[in-house]
Amino acid sequence: MSSLAVLAAAALTAVVSTPLAAALGVRARLVDRPDGSTLKIHRRPVALTGGYAVMLGVAVGVTIAGGHPRLGPCAAVALAFLVGARDDRRPVGVAPRLVAFVVAGVLLAADAGGGWPVSVLAVGLALAVPNAVNMIDGQDGLAAATAAVAAVALAAISSSPAANAVALSLAGALVGFVAWNRPPASVFLGNAGAYAIGMVLAASATRVAAVDGVPGVVAAGLALVVFAVEFASTVVRRLSGRRPLTGGDRDHTYDRIAARLDRPHALALCVALGAAGAVAAVALGGGA
């Protein structure tokens, strides 16, 4: 099945299923309610179930591609999704989340092989990327658009047919989701969606690194440049300010850009940075 068909199938699935997932979210009271704080910029309750539609789109895309996803990455993504779904309903403590992401990283490492360097990288990615996606999911359309760009890049540099199919399916599903998540968003990814998407990206990056070694690590890092910048800057900023690493704020990179320009420009600049990283990743990875 062609890459275009996989992308289209995943996108169409997400476009159709996202409003249904949003309606179910409202019915189940899985919504983010504005509280007048600067952290929540939306003016009405918004469903937190967009990630369910994205994951359905991924599943359909992979099925259309005829792919056979490996058990380890599937289990890691499922674990991240379940932790996020629980967190959307009632906050999960830092320690249980940390343990869950470490376990997910071990699952990715066991599947990838490649010795201890790849294992350490897999656990690091499983800890960092899902949280980075969640961090950047503070503006309508931003996390989904930048993750879609990263997924396309990872698909392009991956030499694994299964990983390629998953990354392409994720890209298509996110494109379909953005139709409903663009400003003003009618549905959010929720922690379930953000964590699962981040884990798919982490799994894809781990596979590239395991196959291509140091060049693969660099190429995957370039594909994930927006998330790497946001995660690193947030950790450094909070540590230097002696603030907790967890919790939300309105001092992220994209918030600062939006304060100087506006939110559409912040979105455009972040997507442009992700696209530049994607082009560099494909150039370095050789488009394998």
| pLDDT at residue 40 greater than cutoff 80 | no
Residue 96 identity = P
Report d(CA 288, CA 284) in Å as an integer: 10
Which DSSP state fits 245?
S
pLDDT tens-place string over residues 154-182: 999 998 888 899 999 999 999 999 999 99
Q: Which residues of 69-87 are buried (b: 16+ CB within 10 A; e: fewer)?
A: bbebbbbbbebbbebbbbb
pLDDT tens-place string over residues 193-249: 999 999 999 999 999 999 999 999 999 999 999 999 999 999 998 888 878 777 777
Report d(CA 199, CA 79) in Å as an integer: 9
Report d(CA 20, CA 44) in Å as an integer: 18
**Rg, C-alpha atoms of the chain:** 17
pLDDT tens-place string over residues 62-87: 999 987 778 999 999 999 999 999 99
Report d(CA 275, CA 147) in Å as an integer: 10
Report d(CA 25, CA 222) in Å as an integer: 35
283 Cβ contact list (under 8 Å, min separation 6): none
4 Cβ contact list (under 8 Å, min separation 6): none
Q: What residue spans define the domains of the chain?
A: 3-285
225 Cβ contact list (under 8 Å, min separation 6): 273, 274, 276, 277
Q: Which of 40, 30, 19, 2 minimizes the C-alpha distance to 172?
A: 2
Sign of the C-alpha dihedral computed for residues 45, 248, 223 and 163 taken in this order: negative
- State residue 160's pLDDT score: 84
Length of the chain: 288
Adjacent-strand bridge partners of 32: 46
